[in-house]
A and B are shown apart, each in its own frame.
Chain A
Amino acid sequence: MSWTRIVAILRKEVLQIIRDPRSLLIILVIPLVQLFIFGYAVNLDVKHVPLCVYDRDATQTSQDLLKHFQATDYFNVVRVSDSYPDVVRNIDYGVCSIAVVVPPQFAEDLHSSGHASVQAILDASDSNSASIGMGYAQAIVQSYSSEIQLAWQQAQGLATGAPSVTFEPRTWFNEDLESMADLVPGVVALVMAVVGAFLTSLTIAREWERGTMEQLISTPVGKLEIQIGKLFPYFVIGIADTAICAGTAVLWFGVPFRGSWVVLFGCSMLFLLVVLSLGYFISVTAKSQLGACQMALLATFLPTFLLSGFIFPIDQMPVVVQWITAILPARYYVSILRNVFLKGTDVRLLAGDIFALAAIAAVLVALATRSFQKRLV
């Protein structure tokens, strides 16, 4: 190993990055664009669900119930219908995604038999929003029900201290259930996977494509020297991108940061080692820039986006898919990041994830080193 040769390659690589506007764009713009897209455009919080009401009873009681729907942030009453065909039309045209129908004799039933029903019709073409909307509607009806029970007991002169159980949820770590706080760790992983693997996927392929590799491998330079010299600049870039993403998340989006910066950067370095080696391996194998960058995107973006637990929880996936995620480095990194940002628990609890990440890193570094041969065929 020669320090002089590593430095010479490193210097050349840095000069080439600086002189290539495209790579600068990828380094600086992609992280911020992704962060802002996920921060603003992707909103998994369900609020202001458009609601349509059809009051077939038209009494003081039924209006009371419907007022409860108006009074909350979770629903926006966008239409008041006067017939079933109109309700159907509103749902068909997407004017509302939920309709609440109060049946005739609602008030009468309630007063005479002490029991009445309300109908909710849901557009479940977006099943996630539909089930959340249904939950909200249930809760509102429930609370209305408790209110009238209480009023009835008081009116009857009964003791109001009847035994009852109250459910009081406290959400930890992401107190407001803000999806942004949950997404940021995933976005950091996504940015690093894409930027890291994409940039390095070009580095060897470019030399083959331009014919400079033949000259390079005719010199006494060692393959490990090439690997270190070429990957180090991208390693530094990756660390800088981590800092940009984490900084923007905390300072701009107000995502909490409860863990340790040392753990964040330590684990990010490990993850970078993984994605840079993956990109390098792809670059060595592909030998063409176009093929290499397509492969790099396919190998990093899709699995990180779909299978890392970033958006879709891993424990909800089919068992076979869960097994597949076990070899996915982003899965462990996302888990570590969530912990570092939101929970801030002891590093020792992350040992499993860190160990898995380190094992994958070791395999990929070895694979990248082995794949490169100083020979033409």
Chain B
Amino acid sequence: MNQSVPSVVVKNLTKRFGTFVAVNDVSFETRHGEIFGFLGPNGSGKSTTIRILCGLLRPSSGQASVAGIDVARNPEAVRQRIGYMSQKFSLYNDLRVVENLEFFAGMYSVPKKEIPGRIAWALKMAGLEGRERNPTSSLAVGWKQRLALGCAVLHRPPIVFLDEPTSGVDPVSRRQFWDLIHSMVGEGVTVFVTTHYMDEAEYCNRLVLLDRGSIVAMGTPTELKNERMKGQLLMIECEPLGPALELLQAVPEVVDAAVFGSGIHAVVADAVVAAPKIRELLSAKQLHVSRIEQIAPSLEDVFVSLTATRGASTKSEAAA
């Protein structure tokens, strides 16, 4: 494949279901051999976008091309060049492990001579050696997901779409799954992955943050954390949390405040100015502040701050 052609190009893509806009004027490009992440809550349009890119849904407007091929015009040519793993487990539970692999080798027209080698490779990759004859229904979720990945990449596609591949998988299996993704990328495969786990988003080379069908930010995880955060972040640990949060949300210097674990993350314009004021305010209300300091934002902070400001702006628009 021509390395100069971006693997996925999306321009002004919109998908409506009746009056509901699932994907709203989305544009982005992915580069070769990168992990491109789609991050967003449920219902933000991640799965819809991925399904359009796999030719399973027709876009309402805009263009999408995969491996240089227009998906709406020539979905079959796209399907031969991609691997897709849907959100819901979708292999045949009543077939054995190896029968599922054989079936998908057939679906992707893997040459007969290469089938045994590919299946052996997929079994090894998924850690399912010795379980070839097991009924697929008997596998644990983590194994099922790796088998599904194996089935989706048997034909060695240059682009792989994974829709929430690790939902419902335990942390150890999740880690193993990401190791697999990294090794595929090492072989030059472009991996397009959706997730709502913030920690997984950190593994991506580049990310798109989606909220209610629209892109709210795009960039590397570092870029997003350093540049897209509006203001600075204060970590406040105090007792009790509930009244403190209410107080903080009413302070004019605080752009946004939310409970994170045992403390509160507050977004402020200038941490050095805001910190003493907040400490003073909370102490005046007999709330015990044990710690208050500036911290580096996580992707979650960035996401919350970006979607919160967007929510605020839509609110003011509605009011106007």
Contact = CB atoms under 8 A, between A and B. Distances in A.
Q: Chain A binding site: helix, strand, loop or mixed by DSSP?
A: helix
B92 A218 contact: no
Interface stretch (A2-10, A172-180, A308-316, A332-340): A2-10
Nearest to B83: A218
B107 A5 contact: yes
Contact of A214 (B56, B92, B99, B103): B56
B57 A5 contact: no
Contact of B86 (A20, A218, A221): A218
Given A8-B107, A220-B107, A16 B54 contact: no
B182 interface: no
Contact of B51 (A5, A12, A376): A376
Contact of A16 (B76, B86, B95): B95
B113 interface: no
A2 to B, nearest CB: 6
A237 B26 CA distance: 50
A212 interface: yes
Contacts of B107: 5, 8, 216, 219-221
A8 B86 contact: no
B62 interface: no
Contact of A218 (B54, B102, B112): B54
A374 interface: yes
Given A5-B109, A218-B56, A374 B75 contact: yes
Interface string B98-121: 010011111111001000000000
For chain A, give the interface size range: 20 to 34
Interface string B58-101: 10000000000000000110011010111011111111000100
A221 B110 CA distance: 12
B106 A7 contact: yes
Interface in A182-224: 210-222
Contacts of A377: 17, 57
A212 B109 contact: no
B109 A220 contact: yes
Contact of B56 (A11, A221, A375): A375
A2 B103 CA distance: 14
A375 B109 contact: no
Interface in A330-377: 374-377
Contact of A2 (B56, B91, B102, B109): B109
Contacts of A15: 94-95, 99
B108 A220 contact: yes
Q: Give chain B's interface secondary structure class.
A: mixed
A215 B94 contact: no
Contacts, number: 85
Contacts of B93: 210
Contacts of A4: 106, 109, 112
Contacts of B56: 214, 217-218, 374-376
Contacts of A210: 90, 93
B90 A212 contact: yes
A212 B92 contact: yes
A377 B95 CA distance: 27
Interface residues of B, number: 36
A5 B102 CA distance: 11
Nearest to A218: B84
Contacts of A2: 109
A222 B76 CA distance: 8
A170 interface: no
B122 to A, nearest CB: 15
Contacts of B58: 375
A137 B107 CA distance: 71
Interface string B124-155: 00000000000000000000000010011000
A22 interface: no
Interface string A97-120: 000000000000000000000000
Contacts of A376: 51, 56-57
A117 B242 CA distance: 106
Contacts of B55: 218, 374-375
Contacts of A11: 102-103, 106
A211 B109 contact: no
Given A220-B76, A375-B58, A215 B102 contact: no
A219 B79 contact: yes
Contacts of B112: 4
Nearest to B90: A215
Nearest to B115: A4
Contacts of B89: 211
Contacts of B88: 211, 214
Given A219-B79, A220-B109, A8 B57 contact: no
Contacts of A8: 102-103, 105-107
A220 B79 contact: yes
Sort A-B residue pairs by CB-CB distance and give the 10 closest, nearest first: A8-B106, A215-B90, A219-B107, A218-B84, A211-B88, A220-B79, A220-B80, A211-B90, A214-B86, A376-B56
26 contacts: A2-B109, A5-B106, A5-B109, A8-B102, A8-B105, A8-B107, A11-B102, A12-B95, A15-B99, A16-B94, A214-B56, A214-B88, A216-B107, A217-B56, A218-B54, A218-B56, A218-B82, A218-B84, A219-B104, A219-B107, A220-B107, A220-B109, A374-B56, A375-B57, A377-B17, A377-B57
Given A215-B86, A375-B56, 10 more contacts: A8-B102, A8-B103, A8-B105, A15-B99, A16-B94, A19-B94, A214-B56, A214-B88, A218-B56, A220-B80
Interface of A: 2, 4-5, 7-9, 11-12, 15-16, 19-20, 210-222, 374-377
